Amino acid sequence: MKITCFGEVLWDIFPNHKKIGGAPLNVALRLHTMGIESSIITRIGDDDLGNEIISYIKEQEVPSETVQKDKNYPTGEVLVTLDKEGTATYEISRPVAWDFIEISDVDIEEVHRSDAIIFGSLACRNATSRNTLFKLLDQAKFKILDVNLRPPHYSTELLLELMNKANFIKLNDEELNEISIYFKIKETTLEDQLRAVAKYTNTDQICITKGGKGATLFYKGSFFHNSGYKVKVIDTVGAGDSFLATLISKLLQESNPQTAIDYACAIGAMVAGSEGANPVFSEDEIKTFISEQL
């Protein structure tokens, strides 16, 4: 199993510290810890922050050959603010290196050899990276969209185009509401809304996350639910990314969809209960966490 992730890699700047992040990198790192061969196509600045990212990726034993360097634009940074519940808001700098990911034969081959590509809407805010992504999607066997609505970094027209290209769509409940308004979806229940989005985008695999209330998966005509796991939230940065990585890895390995969403919700909760986007858990820790919730 091999999965390629495309998009932003950056530094999350917290009030008292900084951490390497970006949804595509978070997903790639979580996949790697689960034994899935993963890589990331991205672009960093030719600067100290970029060099630190390269060193970190190599330390995690994730390939760095598809990480491009930019001499004109700096490595990306995001100012992260946490409220009293640990929920994060973001101020994303621009323009930065990951806005200018270029197409290359190495990247085309990487996607061609992969079982799936995971990409987000944020990385498409600039035409250079967006055009590169569209060319790579032409080579992809299975396309997974992580909707990541960060105003003002997207348009509804672009979002619709991305959703129509995807085989699998992941979004949160707030994003579903916004999309439902844009699509003029009249249905009021979550399941009916997901059916409507699936029909509108011709996508039969959609997952919606609901924060501490778990997630719902619409998978090939059937629904699977998890009501969430109790955890003391430290910060929510990266929780959704780890959820997605876990869910996709299980589904692509043909796990039972209910088992997949239960396990993914557990990992997402454990990340929310830890500091930073990429905490590492042993299999025993995961099993213990799940058993304690029963």
pLDDT of residue 40: 97
Give the model confidence (pLDDT) of 36-90 as tens digits. 999 999 999 999 999 999 999 999 999 999 999 999 999 999 888 878 776 777 7
The CATH number covering residue 62 comes to: 3.40.1190.20
The domain total for the chain is 1
- Decide if pLDDT at 92 tops 80: yes
Q: Would you place residue 193 in the very low, low, confident or very high pLDDT band (cuts 50, 70, 90)?
A: very high
Give the model confidence (pLDDT) of 216-251 as tens digits. 999 999 999 999 999 988 877 788 899 999 999 999
Q: The domain containing residue 172 runs over which residues?
A: 2-293
pLDDT of residue 242: 93
Give the model confidence (pLDDT) of 196-219 as tens digits. 999 999 999 999 999 889 999 999
Q: Are residues 204 and 223 in contact, defined by beta-carbon separation less than 8 angstroms? A: no
Give the model confidence (pLDDT) of 150-192 as tens digits. 777 778 889 889 999 999 999 999 999 988 988 899 888 999 9
Cβ neighbours around 174 below 10 Å, total: 13
Spatial distance between the Cα atoms of 33 and 186, rounded to a whole number of angstroms:
41
Angle (deg, nearest 10), helices 239-252 and 23-33: 50
